[in-house]
Homo-oligomer: A and B are copies of this chain.
Amino acid sequence: MQHFTSAQDIKDWSLLWQKVQQVKDDSQGRKALGAGKAMCLIFLNASLRTRLSTQRAAMNIGLDTVVFDINQGGWQLEMADGTVMNGSKAEHVKEAAAVIGSYYDLIGIRAFAQLKDRDEDYQETIVQQFKKYAGVPIISLESSVRHPLQSLTDLITIEEYRKKECPKVVLSWAPHPRALPQAVANSFLEWMPHTDYEVVLTHPAGYELANEFTQEIRTTTNQREALQGADFVYVKNWSSYQEYGQVLRTDDEWIINKDKMQLTNNAHFMHCLPVRRNVVVADQVIDSSNSLVIPQAAHRVTAAQTVLELLLDHA
């Protein structure tokens, strides 16, 4: 594996799952793997799980890590080619990526969607520019379009808790007061064709995701119908892709509560966190024994360590 920025970077799925199992069985057994190597994690946005789990994963394999909140501690980056840089951006990504790549053996980068210009966001520019100029493996810590470390985590979690062939996995939109990116949902759906799950996507009209992620996915605007017999309910808000970045509704009709969970096959509740309690999901659900949010978040270390080990094995 050369980079880890989408499901398409996984060339050997059987090797991936072998590595996941190895990390779950013994997280501390390969300290020499990272020795003498170092990683730089660059954040343009807030992060709790990604920041803390990726650092822990690196520690587990003896890989030194530097965290760089580039907009606070560094310079704002210019992304476009050919610009006359006489505004607020002091450094071009061409230099920043190449320089950081000359210092560190691996680079992780988080850059959320701006939710203003859809075309710009969907070019995933910053990740692509780092891949082009850094000269070292790039790990997406959530791009404007995808969150592959989260998606691998989600699969690891479902695999651990599945009880049957072909579990029904429902991805449901939920309300949120603010405009959020589509990355977690896009990415989750992008990984689904690599599973044997029965996948159903449900959201209100107006919240359709980009076609490239949904074309193979059964979709309905009837949440209750989708939840019928579900084994896993993955809940996530996203802002509109059609009316790009807009919050079209803030009513609570799509909240996940106990009544809705009773439509399921005693389903596990999943969410990538952070989650707004009693907006996205009722306390009764997230505090129930069906909730997997903590073990799911804990597997962020498993996912990050798996990816780091695969990248270092390749290097």
Which residues on A are within 8 Å of B, measured CB to CB? 28, 36, 38, 40, 43, 46-49, 51-53, 55-56, 59, 64, 66-70, 72-75, 78, 81-87, 90-92, 95-96, 98-100, 102-104, 177, 273-279, 283, 293-295, 297-298, 300-301
Contact = CB atoms under 8 A, between A and B. Distances in A.
Contact of A91 (B96, B103, B273, B294): B273
B28 A85 contact: no
Given A40-B52, A95-B294, A297-B99, A177 B46 contact: no
Given A59-B38, A74-B47, A100 B276 contact: no
B70 A69 contact: no
Q: SS class of chain A's interface: helix, strand, loop or mixed?
A: mixed
B283 A95 contact: no
Given A82-B278, A90-B274, 17 more contacts: A38-B59, A40-B52, A46-B75, A48-B75, A48-B99, A48-B100, A59-B64, A69-B72, A72-B72, A84-B277, A84-B278, A85-B279, A87-B177, A92-B275, A96-B274, A98-B294, A102-B294
A96 B51 CA distance: 13
A66 B55 contact: yes
Contact of A274 (B84, B95, B177, B301): B95
Contact of A103 (B56, B92, B177): B56
A61 to B, nearest CB: 11
Contacts of A56: 38, 66, 103-104
A70 B99 contact: no
A297 B102 contact: yes
A75 B279 contact: no
B28 A36 contact: yes
Nearest to A273: B95
A86 B301 CA distance: 29
A255 to B, nearest CB: 10
19 contacts: A38-B59, A40-B52, A51-B68, A52-B99, A52-B100, A69-B73, A81-B283, A84-B277, A86-B279, A90-B276, A91-B274, A95-B273, A95-B274, A95-B297, A99-B273, A99-B298, A102-B294, A102-B297, A102-B298
Nearest to A71: B46
A94 B55 CA distance: 22
A274 to B, nearest CB: 3
B90 A73 contact: no
